[in-house]
Structures are given as C-alpha cells and as structure tokens.
C-alpha cells in the first residue's frame, strides 16, 4: 500500500489513485455484455484479440473483467504496429498478477494477424479500424473472431 506524507505523531493517510476518463471506449458496454453472455452459457475460458490495441488498456480491462465474472482461463492478445504502444501495454500488463489471465502484446500489422487468427478464431475480436476497410481486410475480420467490436478513428476522436 502506498502512503502519503504525514505530520509527526500521526498515522500516514493512504494514497488513493483515481483515473477518470472523459470518454469510455464505445465498445466497452458490448464487450461486457458479450463476456457476460459467454459466462452465462457456462463458458469457463475466453479468447480476446485486440487489433490496433494501442496502450492495451481496453484489453487489460476486458481480461480483468472476464476474471471477475468467473472465467478460469483468459487468453488475451493485443497487436499494434507501434513498438512504443506495445512496450507501454506490456508494462501495464505486469500489474495483473493472476495465473488465469494470459496476456500477450505483439508488434505487427493488422492484415497478417487477422489472417492468422482465422485458423483459431477469437471469441471476441476488438478492432480499431480505418473508416473504410478493403474487401480483403473486411473478410479477414469476419473470419478472425466470433464477434467483432469495431471502432473507427472518428469514434475515437469523439472521445478525446
């Protein structure tokens, strides 16, 4: 536990860190509902893939939420083309200390990763995509996950 400085003779007061965001990711309500639906069907494991994951915040939050719902095995894979974002995501992921949660963050481009995911589709695919998808990329998204929760740059900008 972290403590704040205190006056002599007084117990230190605990520090509380609260992070409030101006806008929650628009995919979060559907993501929560999908996780709940899978758990209600008796699922004990879940696989979540986040393409263009950025700093990994949504994926980490999803994995933690899945665990709180009672999933016993959570595989969470994040992909981004930015090495800086992936390093940041890996650092953030170290805060999760739960053997039931397997988090992996990789540097890469969305097209090849989505094609690779088609062999073993994710239960939930998170995808931050350009406004217009090429037919090839659209097909790869369809094959890569049972459900795809997509966000476009215009939706992302509305949050900032």
* Per-residue model confidence as pLDDT tens digits over 85-110: 999 999 999 988 899 999 999 999 88
Residue 71: predicted pLDDT: 97
Angle at 85 between CA 83 and CA 89, to 5 degrees: 115
Angle at 96 between CA 28 and CA 32, to 5 degrees: 20
**In whole angstroms, what separates CA 158 from the centre of its chain?**
19
Q: What is the mean pLDDT of residues 22-48?
A: 90
State residue 35 phi and psi, 5-degree precision.
-60, -45
Give 55's pLDDT tier (boundaries 50, 70, 90): very high
Q: How is residue 105 written in tokens?
A: 């963050």
The residue among 32, 80, 74, 75 whose CA lies nearest residue 55 is: 80
Quick one: DSSP state of residue 122? Answer: B
Residue 111: predicted pLDDT: 82
Q: Is the pTM of this model over 0.85?
A: no
Candidate from 1-15, 45-59, 99-113 with smallest mean pLDDT: 1-15
Between the CA of residue 108 and those of 2, 80, 81, 82, 86, what are the distances in Å? 37, 6, 5, 8, 10
* Per-residue model confidence as pLDDT tens digits over 132-142: 767 777 777 77
Phi/psi region, residue 151 (left: phi>0; alpha: psi -120 to 50; beta: rest), is beta
- Distance between CA atoms of 121 and 119, rounded to whole angstroms? 6
Tokens 């062999």, residue located: 119
SS3 146: coil
146 has a pLDDT exceeding 70:
no
């Amino acid at each position: 536990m972290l403590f704040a400085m205190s006056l002599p003779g007084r117990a230190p007061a605990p520090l509380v860190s609260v992070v409030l965001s101006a806008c929650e990711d628009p995919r979060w309500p559907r993501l929560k509902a999908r996780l709940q639906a899978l758990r209600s069907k008796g699922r004990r494991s879940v696989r979540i893939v986040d393409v263009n994951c950025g700093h990994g915040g949504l994926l980490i939050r999803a994995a933690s939420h899945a665990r709180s719902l009672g999933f016993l095995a959570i595989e969470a894979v994040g992909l981004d083309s930015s090495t800086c974002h992936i390093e940041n995501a890996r650092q953030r992921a170290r805060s999760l200390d739960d053997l039931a949660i397997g988090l992996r963050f990789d540097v890469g481009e969305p097209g090849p990763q989505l094609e690779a995911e088609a062999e073993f589709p994710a239960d939930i695919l998170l995808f931050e995509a350009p406004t217009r998808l090429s037919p090839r990329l659209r097909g790869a998204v369809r094959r890569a996950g049972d459900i795809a929760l997509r966000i476009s740059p215009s939706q992302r900008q509305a949050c900032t």
